[in-house]
Amino acid sequence: MTLLYAGLMSGTSLDGIDAVLVEASPGGRLRAHHHQPLPAPLRAELLALNQAGGPNELARAAMAARDLAEAYAEALAALLRAAGVPAPAVRAVGAHGQTVRHQPALGYTVQLLDASRLAERGGIDVVADLRSRDVAAGGQGAPLVPAFHAARFGQAGTPRAVLNLGGIANLTLLGADGSVRGFDTGPANALMDHWVERQLGLPFDADGRWAAAGRVHTGLLTALRDEPYFSLPPPKSTGRDLFDAAWLDARLVHGPGATPQDVMATLAALTASTVADALQAHAPGTRWLRVCGGGARNAHLMQRIREALPGVDVQDTGAEGVAPEHVEAWAFAWLAQAFVERRAGNLPAVTGAAGPRLLGALYPA
Ligand SMILES: Nc1ncnc2c1ncn2[C@@H]1O[C@H](COP(=O)(O)OP(=O)(O)O)[C@@H](O)[C@H]1O
Ligand SMILES: [Mg+2]
């Protein structure tokens, strides 16, 4: 019988939970995917908890972790229903939780999730808290997806790159020699979603159509690109701790005359240009880039990335048979498998950890 693993991912975009059911690697295929939006009050509370300084944070964090576990359990149940698979057939579920703080330099990263509750509801072994051990070993705890990108998309002899456009963008560099590097390049959907929400009351800019009709404001783009994070050497990772509404607001003064739509176009240009800079700086010979994450559905952003990288074959991961919204959740199912098989999940060359480490904590069914 084929061993099955589930992955449950909710990223910094806070759009919802991506759940996948996959066959064990290597060579496993995806059996089912389910996307479940976060309940609006929970989403709002998680966003609020991303900001330091609110009242009674400890109790609110615990309650949000509890509610998120219930939402994860629903997503998992819906996934298994869609696949027609009973819970005992799944060996383990890798559950990411919701990042509300990410400060690896201070020795911590916080992913909220009441994993005990998910084990209680789901009846499947849960592997959670997948980032802390890498941070304890001196690493960034992020990105964790490059090892999976290498396993799934790598090809010996050819330099390749994989870009995940989530709330934050992260780039994986697969060297022709089999080396794997990776780091967060900077903001992607988190700032764009915030802006379109604030200006139009929409959760995101479908296909980037609104941005596409705006004009890039050069002065504003320069001010945004002036952020020191972009020129920091890897290993590096970031999140809403840095790239939040306040970060954007502090720079809007540099965009006199920019309409809200121009700001949106400029934010898309920021993501495209910081990704292109990162690729050119760290892997200039790469001519093959595959894009995953929800941002791969943003046609305007994809177009901007292509323009910023002439000569590079830029397509979404669908071209390799894996839909863009499946990749990250699959990576966490893959990390759960690594845990079960007692294999290291991190790549020290990516995260900067002192060595390979077993990632995650087990919450038995
Ligand atoms: N059709 C689309 N057009 C533009 N943007 C999209 C589209 N579909 C998804 N997105 C973007 O992708 C985001 C979700 O991406 P995701 O990979 O789940 O990020 P995260 O891992 O941060 O949750 C949404 O918030 C939205 O910004
Ligand atoms: Mg998401």
Q: If you write DSSP's letter for every residue of 233-287 in order, what string do you get? A: PSS----TTTSSHHHHHTTGGG-TT--HHHHHHHHHHHHHHHHHHHHHHH-TT--
CB-CB contact of 363 with 119 (8 Å): yes
Ligand 1 lining (C-beta closer than 6 Å): 11-13, 15, 166-167, 189, 193, 204-208, 293-295, 297-298, 328
What is the 294 CA–ligand 2 centroid distance (Å)?
Answer: 7
Instruction: Return d(Cα 141, Cα 116) in angstroms, integer.
Output: 22
Specify the ligand 1 atom closest to the Cα of 208.
4
DSSP state of 180: E
Pocket probe mutation, ligand 1, options 10, 13, 243, max atoms within 8 Å of Cβ:
13
Average pLDDT for runs of 10 along the chain of length 365: 94 97 92 97 97 94 98 98 98 98 98 98 98 98 98 96 98 97 98 98 98 98 98 98 97 98 98 98 97 98 98 98 98 98 98 98 98
Instruction: Return d(Cα 315, Cα 292) in angstroms, integer.
Output: 9
Three-class SS state of 343? coil
Using H for helix, E for strand and C for coil, what is the string for 139-159?
A: CCCCCCCHHHHHHHHCCCCCC
What is the 42 CA–ligand 2 centroid distance (Å)?
Answer: 14
The residue contributing the CA closest to ligand 1 atom 21 is: 11
The residue contributing the CA closest to ligand 1 atom 13 is: 294
What is the 328 CA–ligand 2 centroid distance (Å)?
Answer: 9
CB-CB contact of 95 with 112 (8 Å): no
Kindly report, residue by residue over 117-161, the tens digit of the pLDDT.
Answer: 999 999 999 999 999 999 999 999 999 999 999 999 999 999 999
What is the 268 CA–ligand 1 centroid distance (Å)?
Answer: 13
Here the tokens at position 268 are 């898309």
Q: What is the pLDDT of residue 25?
A: 85
What is the 143 CA–ligand 1 centroid distance (Å)?
Answer: 18
Kindly report, residue by residue over 29-51, the tens digit of the pLDDT.
Answer: 999 999 999 999 999 999 999 99
pTM: 0.98
The residue contributing the CA closest to ligand 1 atom 23 is: 11
